[in-house]
Amino acid sequence: QLMLAESGGGLVQAGDSLRLSCAASGRTFNRYSMGWFRQAPGKERDFVAAISWISGTTGYADSVKGRFTISRANAKNTLYLQMTNLKPEDTAVYYCAATSRGVVRDTSQYDYWGQGTQVTVSS
């Protein structure tokens, strides 16, 4: 079992930056590829970014490419999402997730999920 806990969310203004963290415990963190997803009220959970467990290969949703950066610190069992130039449409609950399947975008391919952290961007 891999436990994931997100932190770093909050209320910010459009144009601000925010860094989310996801602390992992339990199983060997560096054997999993990791992803960030987000879910706005009344909408489905959408892919944001993912990073592989060994090569550091990354993937991003078009809506965040160039503004968000995913990274990981395996020695600290921590995943990050650096968000810059935030927009009101980025408002959502952000979830981190782990998968043994590589850099994938489908929620059904992820095995473990955190509880989420709220990000609210005011205009």
Q: pLDDT grade, residue 27 (50/70/90)?
A: confident
Q: Number of C-alpha atoms within 13 angstroms, CB side, residue 29?
A: 20
Q: What is the structure's pLDDT at 5? A: 97
Both tokens of 40, joined, read 């706005």
Given a cut of 80, whether residue 116 has pLDDT beyond it is yes
CA distance 90 to 39: 9
